[in-house]
Structures are given as structure tokens and as C-alpha cells.
A and B are shown apart, each in its own frame.
Chain A
Amino acid sequence: MEKKRVGPVIFSKYNKGEGVKKALQLGRENVLFEIKESGLKGRGGAGFPTSTKWMLTAAAKSDEKYVVCNADEGEPGTFKDRVLLLEYPELVFEGMVIAGYTIGAKTGIVYLRGEYEYMKKSLEDYLEQMRKDNLLGKAILGNNDFDFDITIRLGSGAYVCGEETALIESLEGNRGEARNRPPYPVNTGFMGKPTVVNNVETLAAVPHIITKGGEWFKQHGTDKSTGSKLFSISGDCEKPGVYELPWGTKISDMLNLVGAKNTKAVQVGGASGICIPKSQFDRILAYEDAATGGSIMIFNESRDMLHVLKNFMEFFVEESCGQCTPCRIGNVKLLEGIEMIEKNQYTFSYIKQLKELAQTMKVASKCGLGQSSPNPFLTILENFSDEIFNRNANGGHNGR
């Protein structure tokens, strides 16, 4: 199939089956070496070094290990995995096969969010073709020691299941409630066995790294953020869509690329990310500066930032699993605070209390959801305080 997307890494040319073939030739040690060389970090947003995750899982002693592909793409503003799964399934699935080979797993599971059920059939069809091509199933590419197969499991409408331990809980037939860590999934994952949970994009990078080398991958991006990133760009711009850009791209350059005009704010990292005002558009997109799982949402001058913030906090109130106190009740209190601001019934001292609460949520919550839901609250109130706290009597803002 003719691929119409262009990009330096993920969307660069790739021949089906090459990655698996090369990995089997290189052997496990060398595959780990290439991944380490590349400096690949998790592309779901957390940015954990992939080689470390794979090495720990490979070293764990167990009769059963698992590779899980986290396709629960639920972060508002993220749709890159949708594109990868629909248009580049070979990269994702071969990435899983290579991961399975490296860590010593026989089973791969794709946790596909329930909202993407419409693509399940095409993915199953593709897997069937892979089995026919001996890239999946028993004795892959004639290698009698290596069996690996992939099943697809659906989610059922829970953003929190994108968190790796909540995802594993969901696979085990439980409520999607995050676990205590340590122990980490690399030791105690699915069914208590060592498990690698990787984002779709992380896995998609692997076949490229194996065929072209970790050194090649490192040429793109920055020192701390190697390689490229798929950015899902949406909102007030002429050309929304998925763009592959190297890490280190300036926000202002990105805005020009997508035809964004009169931009007031850029939400980097989805609802759980930070909101960047015009004065900081010279910041770069990278793990060391403005990190993101790829979601970029652009808001122009006409948008009411309090309305945007309220939308985010309503999202978190609905999607919180409800297990731990700071996230379950804390998000509600932050939302209540926003409603007070809307009705002009707040005091600055109470807003200060809420900001302190937000700081506590960031460190005391049990999982990433509660730890990052305060981000939009803190950054929007900080960077747009003028607009928010000088609302006119009717609760409208300057732009309206």
C-alpha cells in the first residue's frame, strides 16, 4: 500500500518483515544494545527509557512473560495511535514481535480502547496475514525457539486504563484501578508475571531502530530527547492532523507549520499537560522542556480559557477511578473552585488553598491521573490569571 505520510523516523520508508528478520539475526543482546543506543523513551507521555524497561523484564526469571501494547489512547487531543494502527500496523505489530523476542515472551496483547472497536476487524485481518507470512505464530521466520502470537483485547470506555497498572488490572478482569508500585510490571505485571507495557508509537519506532540502527535514530531530536515524535495537532489551526517532527521543535515553528493564527494558548500534553501562553512560544517540545505524549491543542484569542480549564477538570472528575482520596475528591474540589470563579463567588485566599491542594495531589495521588490532573489547573490559572480573574460581571471574559 502506498504510504502518503512523510517523516524522518516513523513515517520513513520501511519494508514489511525487515525488522523481525533483522532482530532475529542480531540476537537479543544486540537488539537491547541498539534500543539503548537509540535513547528511545516511552512515547505515551511518561517518557521512561524503553531499553531499561526491556532489560529489566528480560532479566526477570519467569516461565511466562508478556508484551502489552497500550492502545488505550485516551488523552484528549491525541489521535496518533489511531493513525498508526490504521495505516502502519506492520510497525506496531513487528515492534511487539521484536519486544517478545528480546524479553522472552510468547504472548502479546494489544489493549485497544473500546472507542476504537471499529478498527478491530482490520487489525485482526492484518494479524492473520502476518501469521501466513510466518511473522507471527509458531517458529517465526523458521526460528524454532521463537513462538509469539498476539491477541487483541478491547477496553470499555475508561481513560484511566491507559495507566499501565490500571491497564493490567483491566486485562485481569478487574476494575481499572492502578496498583501500588513497587513492584513494577517489569517484575509483577499481567497475572503476576514480568510484563512490558509500551505505547503504540514506542513499539512502532522499534523496527526502524533495528533496521537502521540506534545511532541513526539518535541523529534526530535533542540529547535528552532522541528521535522524533508524532504530534496530534488539533484546535484553532488550518491544517490539523498528525505530524512527525523531531524533538526539540520550537512551539512557534510548529504553530507556523500547521497554520495557526492569533494563537493565545497551546495545551501541550493533553488534558494532563501544561498550558503555554504566547510569551513562552519559544519553548521547545522535548522531555526536558515541554514534554508531551503528542497531544497539542491550539486555542486562539476567541477562546475562553476558563471554559477550556473547566472542560479539562470535568474530564478528570469523570475519568478518575475513585480509588485514592486526593484524586477522587481533589478533582471535584478543583472543579468546584472553577465554578466559583465562573459565578464570581470566589476569594483569592480560597484559590490559594486550591493551588496548595493541587500541589498535594501531584505528589500524594496513587497514579499518574491524579498526579497530573492539577497541571492544567495550575498552569492555566497561572498563565491566564488576568483573563480569568478579571472577568466581567456576567462571567464573560475579555475576548467575548
Chain B
Amino acid sequence: MLVMEKNALTEEIEGLVKKYGATRSSLLPILQELQKKHQHISSFAQQEVARLLDIHPVEVYSVISFYHFLKPNYVGRNIVRLCKTIACDIAGKDSIAKALERELGIKFGETTKDGKIMLEYVNCVGMCDQGPAMIVNDKVYSKLTPEKAVEIVSKLK
């Protein structure tokens, strides 16, 4: 990482620490904001957060690895999360899954070659009466059909 990028990141994290407070209980909101802005929390970012909150870097990494939505590596500009729990499953999530994989040319768990879209499964998102459902970044889509799902995803390309 370039020195300029590092300095910018440090400044950003200092701002977040100021906003949420320099205590361990601010860890999750800070990591969530970094995840939102950069789609991951890099090694340098993790160490800066650790330094400013006075905890060990491995503790930051441990927390990131626990939560499904926090990623230590860049996974893609957009994350498409398809619900696989039973209500969406019996509503037809398999056909949505196949359509998405075909459209994007990747399997679940992978990122498109241009780094724009990552596809992953997620557990119950609370749309069980309107399944199948998926979350794209921070928007939720329900009552999906393969066509609708593909349309939503192609807008991200």
C-alpha cells in the first residue's frame, strides 16, 4: 500500500475513533463503516484500529473473522447475498441460484473476474413470507424470480 493511501486511511480511522469513542465497544461500528467504504478491512486498517483503540491486532482480526459481513480481504465492489434457509429454499431459491451463477459466470463464494460482484449465501434474512429473497449491498429484494434476480444483478455490472 502506498504511503499516501496509508495516511488517508489513518486519517479516516482517526475520524471514526473520534466519532464513536476510543473504547473497545466502538470496534464494531468502526469496522462496519470501514467495510462499507472499502468493502474490506485491510491489514493496515486493522492494525491502525488496534493501535487507536489500544487493543491487539489479533483481537481485531478475531472479531472480523467471527462476523459474516466483515471481510479481511477485498471480495468485490458489490456483494449479492441469497437466502438459503428453508422458507426461501422451498420457495425456489435453487432456480435463483442457478440463474445468478449462470449470469455472472461464477459459483457461490466467488467474485467475478472484474472484481465487481461477489456471490454468497446467507442465512434467514427475515423475508420468509416473500421468498426467495436476496440482499444486495444494503438493499433487500423479495419475491424473486430468476429473471428479476438477473435484472437486479446486471444493473451492478
Contacts and interface: CB of A to CB of B under 8 A. Distances in A.
* Chains A and B touch (C-beta atoms under 8 A apart): yes
Interface of A: 73-79, 81-82, 113-118, 153-159, 170-176, 191, 232-236, 240-242, 267, 271, 295, 297, 299, 303, 308, 311-312, 315, 318-319, 321
Contacts of B86: 76-77, 267, 271, 297, 308, 311-312
Contacts of A82: 126-127
**Could you tell me the dominant secondary structure of chain A's interface residues?**
mixed
B85 A311 contact: yes
A174 B56 CA distance: 12
Interface of B: 23-29, 31-32, 35, 53, 62-63, 66-70, 84-87, 89-90, 122-131, 135, 138-140
A159 to B, nearest CB: 6
A319 B90 contact: no
Contacts of B28: 153-154, 156, 170-171, 173
Given A77-B128, A158-B67, 6 more contacts: A74-B123, A118-B138, A170-B28, A171-B28, A235-B87, A241-B129
A78 B122 CA distance: 15
B26 A173 contact: yes
B85 A79 contact: no
B53 to A, nearest CB: 8
24 contacts: A74-B123, A75-B124, A77-B86, A78-B124, A78-B128, A114-B69, A118-B139, A118-B140, A153-B29, A154-B28, A154-B29, A155-B67, A156-B31, A156-B32, A157-B67, A158-B68, A171-B25, A171-B28, A173-B63, A232-B129, A234-B128, A241-B129, A242-B129, A297-B128
A233 B129 contact: yes
Nearest to B70: A156
8 residue pairs, one from A and one from B, having the closest CB atoms: A157-B68, A173-B27, A156-B67, A240-B129, A234-B128, A157-B69, A173-B24, A76-B124
Nearest to B121: A318
Contact of A173 (B25, B125, B135): B25
A170 B63 CA distance: 9
A116 B89 contact: no
Contact of B90 (A75, A81, A175, A299): A299
A279 B22 CA distance: 58
A79 B63 contact: no
Contacts of B135: 115
Contacts of B23: 173
A154 B28 CA distance: 8
Contacts of B139: 118
Contacts of B63: 173-175
A312 B85 CA distance: 8
B90 A235 contact: yes
A297 B29 contact: no
B124 A74 contact: yes
Most buried by A among B23, B32, B131, B139: B32
Contact of B123 (A78, A155, A191, A315): A315
